[in-house]
A and B are shown apart, each in its own frame.
Chain A
Amino acid sequence: MVVIMADLFSDLTTLALSKGLDGAGTRHKAIAGNIANVETPGYIRQDVSFEDQLKQALQSPDERLAERSLQAVEPKTQSDMTTPVGPNGNNVSIDKEMAELTKNSLQYETMVQLMNMKISMLQTSISGTVK
């Protein structure tokens, strides 16, 4: 019974979604920091990556292995030097940050929706009736 309960709530989908939400939350923090430092001389924009780790973990053919590598997914914050550095040593582009902000919020909301769908599927299978 314990095994069944564990499988019910910690399947790969739920785990992947929670890791995704975690990553999007961390990315929002980085974007907020970039926007706060839009006028700070010498500031280099911070970027968060986790999608490639998530993808790699989910590609594993063995479910147990995939679960273990999913657990290990950790959002990585690093300096992003791809945008041009201005005369004051700052490379934050406010347009890029606002676009990233919108994109990240939508991504977060999408994952919340998927999580809700997953939970309502569970509820359907438990109650046997479609809400």
Chain B
Amino acid sequence: MGNFSSIDISASGLFAQRARLDAIANNIANANTTRTAKGGPYRRQEVLLRAVSGDAGSGSGGVAVDKVVESTDPPKMVYEPGNPDADSAGYVAMPNVNPVQEMVDMITATRAYEANIQAVNAARTMASKALEIGKG
């Protein structure tokens, strides 16, 4: 029980960090996308995480993806009169994706993912140690 539920908690962390990585990959892939189904340039996606409260008295129940929202930052206006998507003044609305920020987010998400893996491994070691009780 105790050890296995902590693996579930770590799994929720792994899932959350993977969702962040998915959003980051999407943002980088669409860094230059000017056309979307909704019209206008692509908008940066952001994953909002929420702490899940566990059963009474046992503290945390892990983490969950609350929702994925689009960033409200204004699009970058680039002067490119020859571009078919340019407005009357010659400016093209480019996605509000900042590649540097995406790279930094990618590193933190990867590291957080690894930390959750470490926690799973520790739980596994503890559980298999507990199985050795009485084997002498």
**Chain A interface (Cβ < 8 Å from any Cβ of B):** 21-22, 24-26, 28-43, 46, 48, 77-78, 94, 97-98, 101-102, 104-105, 108-109, 112, 115-116, 119-120, 123, 131
Q: Are B2 and A32 in contact (CB under 8 A)?
A: no
Assess whether B76 is interfacial by the CB under 8 Å rule: no
* In the complex, chain B residues 81-117 whose Cβ is within 8 Å of any chain A Cβ: 108-109, 111-112, 115-116
User: Which stretch (B7-15, B23-31, B34-42, B67-75) binds chain A?
Assistant: B7-15
Chain A residues, Cβ within 8 Å of B111: 94
Q: Are A29 and B134 in contact (CB under 8 A)?
A: no
Task: Count A/B pairs, Cβ under 8 Å.
Answer: 132
**Secondary structure dominating the interface of A:** helix
Assess whether B44 is interfacial by the CB under 8 Å rule: no
**Chain B interface (Cβ < 8 Å from any Cβ of A):** 2-3, 5-7, 9-10, 12-13, 16-17, 20, 48-51, 54, 57-63, 108-109, 111-112, 115-116, 118-119, 122-123, 125-126, 129-130, 132-136
| CA distance in complex: A29, B13 (Å) | 13
Q: Are A28 and B60 in contact (CB under 8 A)?
A: no
A13 to chain B, nearest CB (A): 13
Q: Are B126 and A105 in contact (CB under 8 A)?
A: yes
A116 to chain B, nearest CB (A): 6
Q: Are A105 and B10 in contact (CB under 8 A)?
A: no
